[in-house]
Structure 1
Amino acid sequence: MYIEVSVVKMKVYHLARHRSILNKFLSEIRDKKIQKDSMRFRRNIERIGEILGYELSKNLNYSSKQVITPLGAKPMDLLSEDIVLCSILRAGLPLHNGLLNYFDDAENAFISAYRHHPNNDEEFEIVVEYFASPTITNKTLLLIDPMLATGRSLVSVYEALKKYGNPKQIHIVSVIGSLDGIDFIKNHFPVNTSLWIADIDNKLNNKGYILPGLGDAGDLAFGEKM
């Protein structure tokens, strides 16, 4: 088990607490020299998504089905949940792809959410614009955001998602998060929520970025934005 923290409303699964090949991919996305290779950065985020998806899958529901082979029949436990993957553009795309590699029958949703600094200072608000989603009623929602910094983007996205229905279960999937961000989201998500995160850092700087973190995941994956 990878339970790092158990709270009233949310279980947090912190995978990097246990030694595994995951740490190689985490070290490379953090390393300021290696992360300059944007193709490798995207692939490492994707591989981290695959690992998170595999571990998450152990907590989903399954039903037994007969699989017919050329030589007979074999009963197998197969996934029996309707899954929706929802990622926050644009940084969430490589992580989304990693999860989609494993949950290849899932439906998909995409949302743009970004920090807007109306006064050109350190204060910001989260602006949600583009949104495309299927209904999520009675489905298992995987909410994907690689960097869980303040947690405000995730909460804004969740509020926007409510018009698409009420999910049966929510799994938040992140690569790196802060303790402050985790504390924030656990007070804004329902009891049927779990967080699956590769690694957790202790601090945020005065601009709300994770320390030591890795920098801007969107810029590292796709280039600097205007």
Structure 2
Amino acid sequence: MEIINFSEQNTVINQYMSELRDKNHQRNRLLFRNNIERIGEMMAYELSKTLEYKPKTVTTPLGTLDINLPKEDMIIATVLRAGLPFHQGFLHVFDKAENAFVSAYRMYTNREHTEVGVHTEYMASPSVKGKTLIIVDPMLATGGSMAASIEALEKTGKPKHIHICCVIATPEGIDVVKKAVPDDSHIWCAAIDPGMNENKYIVPGFGDCGDLCYGEKL
């Protein structure tokens, strides 16, 4: 499995990440969502370089030429609700892709809020059989919601290839996902942080992505 960590590169993604993490910038909810979306666009562009291509003849007003275009059928899947702006960034690049949505959310399973379970409540997806499946979720913390989403999506068929895309991941989350996907899968991260606190939030991270995008939930 290949893991791509953009924080190890000199890229403007690091500027957007610094604003996402900065608690003063986080007061601007629109900026926060836009930065998540922009990271999605840039990650999608980099991912596009790994796809298979085939030539297509295009007719212009003055002649014809061959242009290499992606030949893969693609599905972009996201985990509600935090994944929506990230998903939109990918859609700006892969505008012909099909889409899937999974409602998978964490639930604390003890009174101290130190143990987390995952509940999958809803899924809307076309068949992923034989297609390139891109699963986008900003936070890969414990890996539980991502593994549950992969399991739910694979019930519709076996994908040709799987790309896991996130803004921030942890080593623990990556280890969980590795066990849930084939060895030739890719994990794309804007950053990999050291770990989580006792409440299973990524540290240093930037907090709850869904709340920062859309407001606190009950």
Give the TM-score normalised by structure 1: 0.94
1:111 partner SS: strand
Deviation at residue 173 of structure 1 after TM alignment:
0.6
CA apart distance, 1:207: 1.4
**Aligned partners of 2:116 and 2:200 also within 8 Å:** no
Answering whether residue 135 of structure 2 is matched by residue 143 of structure 1, we say yes
Contact residue 2 and residue 184 of structure 2 kept, 8 A: no
Once the two structures are superposed, residues 160-218 of structure 1 have per-residue CA deviations (whole angstroms, 9 ceiling, x without a partner) of: 11211100000001001111211221122112310011111112111111110000000
1:193 aligns with 2:193: no
Cα distance between partner residues in 1 of 2:171 and 2:155: 29
Residues 62-73 of structure 1: pairs in structure 2 closer than 5 A: 62-73=53-64
Note if contact 1:168-1:192 (Cα within 8 Å) is conserved in structure 2: no
Give 1:24's match in structure 2, choosing from 15, 28, 31: 15
C-alpha distance in 2 between matches for 1:18 and 1:186 = 23
Name 2:27's counterpart in structure 1.
Answer: 36
- 1: distance between equivalents of 2:132 and 2:176? 22
Q: Separation in 2 of the partners of 1:76 and 1:179?
A: 40
Alpha-carbon separation, structure 2, partners of 1:124 and 1:147 = 15
Residue 120 of structure 1: CA displacement?
Answer: 2.9
C-alpha distance in 1 between matches for 2:110 and 2:172 = 24
Q: Secondary structure at the match of 1:68?
A: strand
In 2: Cα distance, 1:63 partner to 1:26 partner: 34
Task: Say what the alpha-carbon RMSD is for the aligned residues.
Answer: 0.9
2:42 is aligned to: 51
Match of 2:159 in 1: 167
The secondary structure found in structure 1 opposite 2:155 is helix
Distance (whole Å) between structure 1 residues aligned to residue 106 and residue 169 of structure 2: 17
Question: Aligned ranges for residues 65-144 of structure 1 at < 5 Å?
Answer: 65-121=56-112, 122-144=114-136
SS of equivalent to 1:27? helix
User: Would you identify which runs of 4 or more consecutive aligned residues in structure 1 move more than 6 Å?
Assistant: none
Deviation at 1:117, TM superposition (A): 2.0
**CA separation in 2, counterparts of 1:167 and 1:194?**
13
Indicate if the aligned counterparts of 1:174 and 1:198 stay in contact, CA closer than 8 A. yes
1:181 is the counterpart of 2:173: yes
Q: Is this contact kept in 2: 1:53–1:99, CA < 8 A? A: yes
Query: Displacement, 1:93?
Result: 0.2
* Residues 206, 119 of structure 1: alpha-carbon distance in 2 compared, 3 angstrom cutoff: closer
